[in-house]
Structure 1
Amino acid sequence: MSESTGFFSKKNIREILFSSLGVLLTAIGLVSFLIPFHIAAGGVSGIAIILSHFLPLPVGVLMYLLNGVLFLISFFVIGREFGLRSVYCTFLLNFLIDLFDRGIPFPKYTGDDLILSALLGVIISALGMAITFNQNSSTGGTDIVARILNKYAGTSMGLSLLLIDLVIGVFAGVAYETRVGMYSVLSVILNGLTIDYIIRVLNNTLTVLIISEKNNAISDFIMKTLERGVTRLKGEGAWTQNEKNMLYIALKRKEMTDTIRQIREIDPKAFIVVQEAAHVIGEGFTHISRIF
């Protein structure tokens, strides 16, 4: 059930690939919908834009300086793995934004509906950010501050980003056009809510209690085919007063349909109770270091 933990392990490669997919979606949301309308949904870019009014430095330089400081903090406070992946994802995001915005002709929203542009941009970019967060990484910037708050203050990633970026959005609205500032604040709120929702969906886990006369066959299927652990519990029927062995397992939602189908094939009379779990911490699910 365990996977190797080296850099080239299947788990590590899978997480890097999903992180890259998340960064790609984030870049598409920004370039196609948010940047054309100058909607600053918080982040280091928003801070850099505000600071550029007071410091003789361009926005790009300020972004690199701010991200550099935040990366150093993430290495020491959150951990080396998170810091390295965040550096990779941040540089990939910057590269893709430059590529899509100036390097190649990438489709951009050309309508005049600011609300539609903000909604589509935030939903797509928030989906990408949530996928990246779920792989123990970030796209840099205030994501790192949000992860630190998540770890030490217990606030969710979405709420942490919401609080940080809301402040940035308010200041951006004061510094720039009021209408754009209002949509920036709206985008910040939608971004935080969307990220929280998507992360919950991606980590949706179920616990299953099975009472069957064919526990051995069911256990073999779960351990060998699904590569999941099984816990045997002893119980007693109140009516029959007969002892019964029960099986207790935790599964990802995507595994549930095939599992129920297979259990029914093994024992059509099996009694099955399925419950949603807020968190499942341990091997094969969320590592304890990622629950803050």
Structure 2
Amino acid sequence: MSADVAYLNNQARLLRRDVVNTVYLAKDGHPSPALSCADIVAALFFRVLNIDPANPKWAQRDRFVLSKGHACPVLYAALARRGYFSRDELPGLRSLGSKLQGHPCMRKTVGIDMTSGSLGNGVSIGVGMAIAGRYQKQDYYTYVITGDGELGEGIVWEAAMSAAKHKLGKLIVFVDNNGLQSGGRVEEVGGVTPILEKWQAFRWHCQEIDGHNMEQILAAIDAAKLETERPSMILAHTVKGKGIPYMEKDNAWHKKVPTEAEWREAMELLGGIDGE
């Protein structure tokens, strides 16, 4: 394991710690959807994204869209650890008047590129950002994380068709394929498989990875960047609630606050209550 991968794995651990702590202290939030994409978020925010916390509106910054916006505790944790705002803000999640709403809001929170809400819109907004970058002759990449449950929305496939038509080589979409959504198993709710073959049919460059393997995440991003004429989709197989055994694959944790005992157990698993 390289030093870079070890560093990023540790950042993912810290993000998971922040997610659980934030939801516990706020007494609200969606812990398990945030935990499933923590490794991808760590790779993006601590290695890949060309961003500047001191200049958050920098025109040439890479764009990041969290389409599954209810997973925002992990995004807020990443932004705080990158210095966009103080980590002391995190327990204010979903509170009246807080900078940190239940879905990311670009008007309230520095560092947010897209306000989310209704699920399924992130890919289409990413397409718009990528087209805008081309017309403005900017060199930035647009990264999107969408949930597998969101693929039941027709707007995703309209966006996929449009992105291929416009040959958006600077658009990279991760599908967080944890198999669960608020209503149950994704296959029982929407029946979105086969995911890889669908995106391939829309003429995207497609890869399939373990979404918790940092080396695979980084390699997939590097490969996607070599594609200049096609948008890229990275199908990341993940575990909802990853990192906390009692949350893993248990859909009750989609939106649930841990008890004090559960919080303590999670903190010990992630480095100790008083440690990092």
Give the alignment's TM-score, normalised by structure 2.
0.28
Structure with the larger helix share: 1
Larger radius of gyration: 1
